[in-house]
Amino acid sequence: MMKPVKTGTIALLLFLSLIVRAKPPLEISRGPVSLQFSITEDGKPVYAILYNGRDVVKPSTLGFMLESDSLFYKGFSLISADRKTVDETWVPVWGEYSSIRNNYEQLTAHLKHRSGKLLDIVFRVFADGVGFRYEFPKQTGLTYFVVKDECTQFQLTGNHKAFWIPGDFDTNEYAYTTSLLSEVNNAPVVRAATDIAVRTVTDSLAVQTPLMLKTADGLYINIHEAALLNYPAMQLHIDKSGFKLSSNLVPDAYNNKAYLHAPEHTPWRTVLISDKATEILASKTILNLNDPPASTDLSWIKPMKFVGVWWEMQTGKGTWNYSDYPDSTDAHGQLIPNGRHSANTANVKRYIDFAAQHGIGGVLVEGWNRGWEDWFGNWKENVFDFVRPYPDFDIKEITSYARSKGVQMIMHNETSGSATSYERQLDTAFRFMQQFGYPAVKTGYVGRIVPRGEHHDGQWMVSHYERVLQQGMKYHIMVDAHEPARPTGLQRTYPNFMACEAARGNEYHAFSNGNQPDHETILPFTRLMGGPMDYTPGIFKLKGYAPWAPDRSVHSTLAKQLALYVTIYSPVEMVADLPENYEAKPDAFQFIKDVPVDWDDTKILEAEPGDYVTIARKEKGKNNWFIGAITDENARTAGIQLNFLQKGKKYKAVIYEDAKSAHWKTNPEAYAIRSMTVDSNTKLLLSLAPGGGAAISIMQSE
């Protein structure tokens, strides 16, 4: 359960009657972070953020352009303000920690516009950053209204180093670019990204959040949002002349941004700050800004590892479609099989046997249901039937066989972007999952969105993703969403939201030029700030896996693929490669069998965006630890102090590391395994190859 357990005081409700002009500005602080709020002479709400007295966000304006009031960003007066302190601890259903502290100072500024409309701005200051959102109180002057633009700005202090992807309305699957803000131009990046199915970019100076920044004097800044519901995703437009970032909301077909009905509020805008990169990764502020779940019956939510037929189809060994063409039928009107369909009963049983043999809890099967013959690129509304299997997929026999082996089947619902069709079938599809005992579903939204004119990251689709989660809560279905808006901590509100894609995953090594070795060192500072990612790690055959592209390779060593199970967190983690590739290297496969997917504690040991990440995690309910260390294209030595181990206890450490000759490009599958006894005084030195990594299991000795 996630009912808050009080550990401090939720106190100090202090109501202030303040005059119109806020001079000096209102200020709240927590640790090194301070926030100031004021109203300018022409009535513009302005905030600023400081870290240890240093400017982080210089005075920046707030507000909106509404359809009914295009100047809803100035002409405000401050009528009153509330303050409070919150210090509590809550227990997540699953995650990286057994409990999370939520400690902040809050300031609510109650504003009145010269039109008579009311607006509240709520600021929360944590020791590692700030969250703020707009609240529209219930009022006679503002009921139903349309947001044309949000005028939130982030006035930065200089030309910071940025880790960014283009601000695209329909995809987050670009490779990251590292550059100064003054060098951002997404146009060539978008043009070159021909491996992405749908791209919609209208502003060459727009970047996606989470945006990771590093200042010249070593300050780390992360800008994102939390609790994205009933509102479009926020991107950021860069004004290079003054290094000012402005909110850039994803529009609908009418170029409107949001349709709201007061009382209502926006998502939280988040700014995380630290002079240590490790503290950015350790932040739980985005999670804390999300509401706890309404349901208290959450025992059915169970993290798991799973295997599946996915990689054999990605690499061309099999197909999703049962027939080669939608009109390829026999004299009786039945589809003619192509003989390469992966989701057939005999093949799925092979994966079930493999999962059962190695203690892997689930099997995901894609391509099991009718519709794959013409699923992509046609902007077609009615494509898939979510309860009707192909003739060679005997769902009753497969379900019975999996149950006899102690394995659970995971459903796959690809929509080809047709959210309207999926919503019409959603109740039926989830009842079908219940009937056959499927505890989880992987959803997909490849292609242009139906209803036509909507975007993956717009308000309508954001609400669609929530409707799927709500139905999942009703039917006890866990959700792993692909091609959605990037996450914003909603796994706290909807604990069945186990993971999503929303970034460039391992699959790009199958059908394109892949991901550069620094990609996985950037993801924790960007995409993963909002929630777990289904990255599909664990590829063991790193060259020669794609028959049509013999020179294609995964830009990683095998040891790094193991380390990703720790550094890229997901409570539903795919064991992505083919069974025969794991059976060829059973000693290395042991780490994947051992590594958990649910944790009691997490230590960010060392990190630098774009360079390296080392993370240690403690297994849920046990005194075992697992470590993942990864690097970019440069070799490095990772020094790991094991002082987080229980003092006075001995542990057996098994180290899976790059061999001396390993290199992501020339010798990626070279690895070594060694064992040693360790304790809390031990310091390990790990040699990471270019594009490499290391994975360590640390088990308490009996």
Residues belonging to the active site: 507
- Phi/psi-derived region of residue 152, left when phi > 0, alpha when psi is between -120 and 50, beta in every other case: beta
Residue pair 579/540 in contact by the 8 Å Cβ criterion: no
Residue pair 269/225 in contact by the 8 Å Cβ criterion: yes
636 φ, ψ to 5°? Answer: -155, 165
CA dihedral sign of residues 285, 288, 290, 293: positive
DSSP 667: B
Q: How far, in Å, are 308, 478, 531, 575 from residue 95 at the CA level? A: 23, 14, 10, 19
Whether omega for the bond prior to residue 326 falls within 30 degrees of 0, making it cis, is no
Query: DSSP letters of 311-357?
Result: HHHHTTSSBS-SSSSTT-B-TTSPBPP-S-BS--HHHHHHHHHHHHH
Cα–Cα distance measured from residue 69 to residue 52, given in angstroms and rounded to the nearest whole number: 38
Output the CA torsion 362→228→566→354 (10° steps): 10
Query: DSSP letters of 138-192?
Result: -BTTBSEEEEEEE--EEE-SS--EEEE-B--SS---PPPEEEEGGG---HHHHHH
Query: DSSP letters of 428-468?
Result: HHHHHHHHHT--EEEEE--SS-BSTT--TTSHHHHHHHHHH
Residues 6+ apart with CB under 8 A from 530: 210, 224, 226, 286, 486, 487, 488, 489
